[in-house]
Amino acid sequence: MDLPLKYGLNPHQHPARVTLPSASPLRVLNGTPGYVNVIDAMGAWQLARELKRATGLAGAASFKHASPAGAAIAANLEETYLASQFLARKELSPVASAYMRARGGDRMCSFGDAAAVSEVVDRSLANVLRREVSDLIIAPGYDPDALEILSAKKGGNYLVLEIDPDFEPPDIEQRTLFGLKLEQPRNDAAITRETFSNIVTGNRDIPDAALDTLVVATIALKYTQSNSVCVACDGQVIGMGAGQQSRIHCTRLACDKADKWFLQQHPRTLDLPFREGLKRTEKTNLVDQYLLWDQLSSTEEARMLGDLEERPDPIPPEERRRYLSRFNGVCLSSDAYIPFRDNIDRASRSNVKYVAQTGGSTADESVTEAADEYGMAMAHTGLRLFLH
């Protein structure tokens, strides 16, 4: 069975289609999918489903360009977090809170995302999605009133996909590159707390909450374009460094995003005097500029200040460091071994306390010594999770 697509990766790659199994697990309930939509939806769905299977809690993913911008399991949303996301306090269902945490992991990269959740979409989540810039959602089902809300989004063109939660693909997966067919067993490695049992540092204390966060971070890496490093806290991805050729660049990117995620909740950031009438997306961009103020050109600075009622004071470097040191439970996971201690040095500046990596590098000893210097607990998983 073939499902026609709007076009391929680019508009000039037309016609395009996806071939579904005879008993298709996928149904299009609203809208018309494109090639990229299908790629993101399949990655996001697998991630959300695996989070639920590993933790027993509702899982969610926010995907963009074949990698997660964010992923999370359900939890209560704190007032400071809500304020940093420009959200009012509302009673949210577990599946809605999971998605809000996933999307909030990197709200700039989640703009126009592919959303996936492990649960039936209810009215609570549909109302959340109604006001967000999102391209699609994939889920195992929809309450009737939720489907009605989502079907009206984007002038009736919002893509709503339903997938059979019990569907399992064949053990062997295939792809064609430049006329060559590649085959391999599907990556069905299960990630649980036991994945992190081989602790190689002097500090061997990884509490249950940190173990669960390492589970979330490592499952997210399984569905992220390699090389990749993930920083997470409290069961939520807060910094994804994806698709870099160098491990240290992955780590810098992930840690920089994590720092920004925490600093969005700094009192100075929360008190930014936005000009009246700005949209949430405009405020989001202003916060990003504010936190990078020392890197802006004079033109960019003038544009930023033009959207504020008065000139704010930047957060001094020493105050940033003190603020970041307040947060406990910050975890870092790597999809392959950490080859040099510079990754650990950078992670320490983001207050990372728990590290998971494959292990097996010739530099394992020096990397472990670095983790010991900072009092980190580090586990070798023996599991590489490349995705290309």
Residue 269 has pLDDT above 80, yes or no: yes
Structure tokens at 35: 């090639």
Q: Is 318 exposed, middle or buried (0-12, 13-18, 19+ CB in 10 A)?
A: exposed
Catalytic residue among 30, 37, 52, 64: 64
Mean pLDDT of the 312-323 span: 95
Query: Is 14 known to be catalytic?
Result: no
Least confident of 78-92, 202-216, 221-235, 254-268: 78-92
Contacts of 281 by beta carbon, 8 Å cutoff, 6+ apart = 111, 133
Say if residue 52's pLDDT is above 90: yes
According to the model, what pLDDT value does residue 175 have? 93
User: What's the pLDDT at 2?
Assistant: 87
Q: What is the mean predicted confidence (pLDDT) over 38-64?
A: 97
pLDDT surpasses 90 at 339: yes
Q: How many CA atoms lie within 13 A of 356 on its CB side?
A: 34
- What average pLDDT does the segment 367-377 reach? 98
Pick the CATH number of 2-163 from 3.40.140.20, 3.40.50.10860, 3.40.190.10, 3.30.1370.60: 3.40.140.20
Binned at pLDDT 50, 70 and 90, residue 91 comes out as confident
Across residues 253-265, what is the average pLDDT? 97
The per-residue pLDDT for range 151-197, each reduced to its tens digit, is 999 999 999 999 999 999 999 999 999 999 999 999 999 999 999 99
What mean pLDDT, rounded, does the chain reach? 96
pLDDT band at residue 1 under the 50/70/90 scheme: confident
The domain made up of 272-314 has a fold known as Helix Hairpins (1.10.287)
pLDDT of residue 348: 97
Which tokens go with 336? 């392959």
With 90 as the cut, is the pLDDT of residue 325 above it? yes
SS3 per-residue string spanning 98-112: HHHHHHHCCCCCCCC
Q: Return d(Cα 323, Cα 310) in angstroms, integer.
A: 24
Is 12 tagged catalytic? no
Quote the pLDDT of residue 327.
93
Helix (H, G, I), strand (E, B) or coil at 311: coil
Indicate the domain borders of the chain. Answer: 2-163, 187-263+323-380, 272-314
pLDDT of residue 88: 78
Q: What is the pLDDT of residue 89?
A: 75
The pLDDT score that the predictor gives to residue 23 is 87
What is the per-residue pLDDT for 350? 97
The arithmetic mean of pLDDT across residues 88-103, rounded, is 92
Task: Record the tokens describing residue 317, joined without a space.
Answer: 């470097």
- Residue 65 falls in the annotated catalytic set: yes
Catalytic residue, from 12, 181, 279, 388: name it: 388
| Phi and psi torsions of 132, nearest 5° | -100, 150
Domain 187-263+323-380 identical in fold to domain 272-314: no
Instruction: Provide the percentage of residues in the chain whose pLDDT is more than 90.
Output: 97
Which one is catalytic: 6, 65, 249, 283? 65
Task: Please check the confidence at residue 100 and state whether its pLDDT lies above 90.
Answer: yes
Question: Taking Cα atoms as reference points, which of 29, 253, 35, 3 lies closest to residue 162?
Answer: 29
pLDDT at res. 263: 97
CA angle 131, 127, 154 (to 5 degrees): 45
Residue 90: which pLDDT band, with cuts at 50, 70 and 90?
Answer: confident
Of the residues 52, 153, 222, 227, which is catalytic? 227
**CATH code assigned to 187-263+323-380:** 3.40.140.20
Model pLDDT for residues 114-164, shown as the tens digit of each residue: 999 999 999 999 999 999 999 999 999 999 999 999 999 999 999 999 999
- Residue 279 annotated to the active site: no
pLDDT on residue 302: 93
